[in-house]
Structure formats: structure tokens, C-alpha cells
Amino acid sequence: MANKNGKKAPGNIIKWILSVFMFTACLVYGVSFASAIFALLGVYFLPLAPIQNFIDKFMPKKKVLRGLIAFVIFVVGCCVAPQVETDTPDIPDVTISTEATTNSTTDATTDTTQGTEGSGEQTTPPTTNTTTPPTTETTTPPTTQPPTTTPPANSSFEVHFIDVGQADAALVLCDGKAMLIDGGNVEDSSLLYTYLKNHNISHLDYVIGTHAHEDHIGGLAGALNYASVGTAYCPVKTYDTKAFGNFVSALSKRGVSITVPSKGSSFTLGSASCTILALNTDSSDPNNTSIVLRIVYGDTSFLFTGDAERVVEQSILNSGANIKSTVLKVGHHGSESSTSYVWLREVMPQYAVISVGKGNSYGHPTEEVLSRLRDADVKTFRTDMQGDIICVSDGKNVTFTVDKNANADVFGGIGGNSTQTPTETQKPTEPEETQKPTETQKPTEDDNDDKQGTHYVLNTSTKKFHYESCHSAKKIADKNRQDFYGTREELIAMGYSPCGNCDP
Ligand SMILES: [Zn+2]
Ligand SMILES: [Zn+2]
């Protein structure tokens, strides 16, 4: 039979094809049992005289029987073959399933839901989360997170996102301990003083200046005028502004100097555990020096990122640290420079809070960030629309209470200019960019939004990309429209092609 090979050209072609197919399968499955089986079949089908002669000695003569044996071996190979994982491209599927909870609240004065497994560092996401690729949950984070325990019976936990206009300030209270994360602008000093006084917080166990910008450390001096302080964390000890100088001298009056914490370090606030996920003291951009802090209380968790931008987000993602959080304090006041898709996909927040000033000149929060949050079904709160936002956790659920406009359309008022209930009185201290009166566009200190590449608008359905100004970009249906910041090469690599009209 093998001797007749030369005359059976069509049969040989089929054998060659089968042989090549088996060898290819062998390569696809790398080092595995399946590969060995496919390699064996590859050799078996090779229509070379010595091999076929050798096989003839052992195999039955009947062709049908031989084919059947080969087929059975092939099926066995398929069964034991490991699943080949196809890499999901970086354009994420924005359908982040935050599980079927109570996000559809009609009465938004308060909103309660199940906390995510903030404490369960090893547990898998809810089973409904089938659209996202495997996360890095199983990899060991570089830092050991403190083990979380169920809060004791008389325990309490609150985060007050204080409305300090275009700035950040959050007061975290747990079991009688207090931590202030940022303190607004210099103009907010008296507001911070009064806030602590009204809440009877005469001692702050921790004060964190996420980074040296005035809208974060400016009002801390006021807070320190009222309250004493245990530990003050900041990524730098000096920074050449009057506001920072005031912060340092207010600390020294309390006998405290700035501690630059180390990345990965942990501390406790009552029964809550806090981990510093990032802090890049050597970054030339103060925003990216921001202390990124994750607080875990029972099964609920909270992520504070200061003004850290996507480069920091990416480095945290790369580190494999657990960042999944019930509540995300949206980075950089909702600037496009932060809160990237991949970040949001991994944090999987059920709630987000944006600390931002009404009608600010930065255009914060940006439409891009808002639409990402909306697409990911994240129940979002905004200080510019809702004033002070208070979040209470019982270790299982979080509840939000806002000052005003509980039912505000937080995604509708793009750029922070949404309608406000006319009877609401504004806080007299809201700075509204008073510190930079001459600047109307890009203030020098805080924003670096432009450096993230060109703004393109993608049509996810047609796979075309446009300049933002292109008239066809404006016609893209909301569900197909996606904003992208980067280069055209990146887009082309992602399978997009440039629009014929605007020729980006
Ligand atoms: Zn800021
Ligand atoms: Zn900043």
C-alpha cells in the first residue's frame, strides 16, 4: 500500500493536508498532552514511504478501520486540549455588571445596596460579570493587604464628601477615629474649620494631602486650626506655594511634620483598614504624585485617587493590587485625564462621587468620564449639584445622603452647568476659580488634560474614527459613540479606519 504512494497523488495530498493540520494543532496547544496526540497524528498522516511502511506493520490493513482509529485518537486529542484564551483587546466592553442590585432607585435621597466583596481579596466577582475578561484577582498583590474583619457590633463608618467647589475634601469617620483626605482651596479654610466644629471633630488621626496642589491642601490649615492631628501624609514635604507653606506651618503648630508614606503601606482607622496603593514622589506632575488610598470596611470598600491620571491608574492595574471598590471617588474632579475604561472596569464601583465646582473653567466633569460612568451603570453623585454627600457603611451596605437635588440628573448637566433648584442657596465660600481670575482656559497649576493625545470620536459599529468636529461624528448614535484619546496608529491597530470626510 505504501509502495503505491507514488500513484495515489490525490490521497497523498489529503494526507499532507491532514498532517499539516495536526502539526498546526500541536503548535497551538504548546506543551500539553493534546499536543503530543496531535504530533503523533501529524506523523501518522505523513505520506512518506518509510513512515507508512512502519505503520503498515502495526496497523490493520483495512482503510476504514485505520481511519476510524485515527479519528478516535483525534477526538481524544480535542477533548484533552486546553482552552486557548484569546486576548480581549484593550477597548473594553463597557458593560460592567455591578450585579443586579438597587441602582434603579426612584427616591434618590438615600440609596442602599449590597456592598461588593471589598474584604474578600481572593473571591471572584459576582457571577453576572461574564463580559469582562479574567481579572488579576488571583495574582498576589505586591503588598500584603491587612486582613479585614467584620466590624464590631457598635462600629460605624462614614465618608463625608464635603462640597468645596472645584477642589477635594473628604472626611472619613470610623469608630470615633477621623481622617481628612484633602481640604479644599485656601478659601475653604473657614468652611473646613466650621465643618469639623459642627461635627465635633477636635482630633484628626490622619490628615492626607493627596498632592501639593492648592485645591487639595489649601484649606487644610483651617481644619488644623480647629483640630489636632496625629499623622499627616503627603507625597512631598515642600512645595513652592503659599498655600503649601500655610499647610506646613499649621501642622508645625500642632507639633507634626509631613510624613511621606511608603507605597503599599497600611494603617487602620478604627476597624477600617487603609492601604496606600500608589504614590509617585518622583513624578514631575504633581497630579501623578497623588496618594491613592483604598479603605476597606467590612465588605465595603472606598477608593480615593486624588488627581492621579491614567498613567498612575495603569501602573496600579499592572501591579495587580486589588482595587475593586464599592465607592470610587472619581479621580481629578472628573477630568478626561483620569478614570480610564480599564480602570473603571477593574474598580467596578457601584457608586461614584465627583468633587467638582459648578461652572468651573476646566469643563470638569467631562462628558467622557460621565458617559463612562453612565455606561458602567455606576450610581454617581456630584458635589456641584448635590452639595455635601455623606456615605454611610454598615460593613455590608452603603447608604448615601445628599444636601440637595437628590434626584439631579448627574449625567445630564455636562460640564457642571446643569440646572439647579432655584431656591437652593449657594455656599458663599464656593471659590469658583477665584484663585485664578485671569485664566479662562487652561490654568497652570492643576490641569494637564491635553497631553493624553488627540481626541477622536469612534463609531464602534462602523469601526470608523473621526475628529471631534467632524459632522458625521455628531450623527453617531449614542450607543455606538465612544471617545478616544490617543494616536491614530493606536486606533488603526485596534481595527478602526479613518473617516473619509474629516480624514483624521
Ligand atoms: Zn485637584
Ligand atoms: Zn491637582
H, E, C per residue of 283-317: CCCHHHHCCEEEEEECCEEEEECCCCCHHHHHHHH
Residues with Cβ within 8 Å of 104's Cβ and at least 6 positions away in sequence, in order, are: none
Q: List residues bridging with 390 in a β-sheet.
A: 160, 401
Q: How are the residues of the chain apportioned to helix, strand and coil, as percentages rounded to the nearest 5?
A: 30, 20, 50
User: What's the pLDDT score for residue 445?
Assistant: 42
Mark residue 395 as left, alpha or beta (left: phi above 0; alpha: psi -120 to 50; beta: remaining). Answer: left
Q: Which long-range contacts (CB under 8 A, 24 or more apart) does 31-38 make?
A: 32/80, 32/81, 32/82, 33/80, 34/77, 34/78, 34/80, 34/81, 34/82, 37/73, 37/74, 37/76, 37/77, 37/80, 38/74, 38/77
Amino acid sitting at position 274: C
pLDDT tens-place values along the chain, 504 residues long: 444 444 456 678 878 877 887 777 767 777 677 777 777 777 777 888 877 787 777 777 777 777 787 777 777 776 777 554 333 333 333 333 333 333 333 333 444 544 444 443 333 333 333 333 333 333 334 444 445 568 888 999 999 999 999 999 999 999 999 999 999 999 999 999 999 999 999 999 999 999 999 999 999 999 999 999 999 999 999 999 999 999 999 999 999 999 999 999 999 999 999 999 999 998 999 999 999 999 999 999 999 999 999 999 999 999 999 999 999 999 999 999 999 999 999 999 999 999 999 999 999 999 999 999 999 999 999 999 999 999 999 999 999 999 999 999 999 844 344 433 333 333 333 333 333 333 333 333 444 333 456 778 888 788 888 888 888 888 888 777 777 666 787 678 667 788 888 888
How many whole angstroms from 448 Cα to the centroid of ligand 2? 9
How many whole angstroms from 310 Cα to the centroid of ligand 1? 14
- Cis status of the peptide bond prior to 365, with omega within 30 of 0: yes
User: What's the pLDDT score for residue 493?
Assistant: 67
How many whole angstroms from 195 Cα to the centroid of ligand 2? 23
d(CA 321, CA 144): 9
Domain range 112-126+135-416, its CATH number among 3.40.50.261, 3.60.15.10, 1.20.1110.10, 3.30.9.10: 3.60.15.10
How many whole angstroms from 209 Cα to the centroid of ligand 2? 11
Q: List residues bridging with 304 in a β-sheet.
A: 293, 329
Among 433, 421, 431, 501, CA closest to 468:
501
How many whole angstroms from 167 Cα to the centroid of ligand 2? 9
DSSP category for residue 475: T
User: What's the pLDDT score for residue 449?
Assistant: 38
d(CA 337, CA 447): 9
Domain ranges of the chain: 2-80, 112-126+135-416, 453-498
Amino acid sitting at position 43: V
- What pTM does this model have? 0.58
Please check whether residue 396 is in contact with residue 113, taking contact to mean a CB–CB distance below 8 angstroms: no
Ligand nearest to the CA of residue 168, numbered in listed order: 1
Q: List residues bridging with 278 in a β-sheet.
A: 292
Ligand nearest to the CA of residue 286, numbered in listed order: 2
The SS3 assignment for 216 reads helix
How many whole angstroms from 188 Cα to the centroid of ligand 2? 16
